[in-house]
Amino acid sequence: MSSDGGIQGCFFFNRYFALKGYIWHFMRIKDKQRLAELLLLFVLLPLLLAVPVPLTIRLVLGLLGLIYIIIISGKHRFFSFRISSDGIKGQHLFFLLAKFVVVALVTYSIVSISYPKQLFLPIRINPQQFIIICGIYTLASVVPQSFIYRYFFYHRYKQIFPNDSVFLFVNGLLFSLAHLFFYNGLVLLMTLIGGWIFCHTYLRTRSLGFSIFEHALYGCWIYAVGLGDILGFPN
């Protein structure tokens, strides 16, 4: 066997046992009730919201889930925001801007090549409306999503994950799953990558405000560059 083959075999062998260890970890979780709660809120509920049933039913289901999260957050004082933060440092801002530049260049290239007429269309047509919609989007969408999928998810479920890497991986998957109702593969891919980016930032900073800023920055950029329609932004 060649050395490359031996290295690849060793890699997959290690990955297999790592995956087996993670599965064994979740099977041994003592707080089964909390794990069941996670599965109901972040797996079953998004799947139900993606089912093509009357909008009223989906709104009721989403509202019930939100009420439950609010009740749990109040009971455990998640709204106090007194839990210590690692603070925002210069390196955090640098990495945020570096990641954003890469994503901005990629999305700009995609739109300019594939959909040139859409490039910066919202800003070119009505810049004032663009600013207003970004403000509404931040308050009505980014803030609750950031609280639920970063702050609440971390303080409610962090202890059931074996390490930060598994937590980040699962959190990104679940954030993408929450957008399943769009029925768009590109949306799922974008929100998967975005979920990993936002969760990574939160794990590094423990700052909900910084996570909200980053999430809003990416969302408003997607709208500005001309891809907002796939995420429900008005044309």
Give residue 84's pLDDT.
Answer: 45
- State in Å, rounded, how far the first CA of the chain is from the last one: 58
Q: What is the pLDDT of residues 87-108, one digit of tens each?
A: 677 888 999 999 999 999 999 9
**pLDDT < 70: residue spans in the chain:** 1-30, 79-87
- pTM value is 0.85
Q: Is 31 left (phi over 0), alpha (psi -120 to 50) or beta?
A: beta
Residues 6+ away with beta carbon under 8 Å from 141: 219
Distance CA 12, CA 29 (A): 26
Give residue 90's pLDDT.
Answer: 85
Give residue 78's pLDDT.
Answer: 75
On whether the CB atoms of residues 194 and 175 are closer than 8 A, the answer is yes
- Within 10 A of 147 (CB to CB), how many other CB atoms are there? 19
Give residue 133's pLDDT.
Answer: 97
Give residue 15's pLDDT.
Answer: 54
Give residue 24's pLDDT.
Answer: 47
* DSSP result, 192-229: HHHHHHHHHHHHHH--HHHHHHHHHHHHHHHIIIIIGG
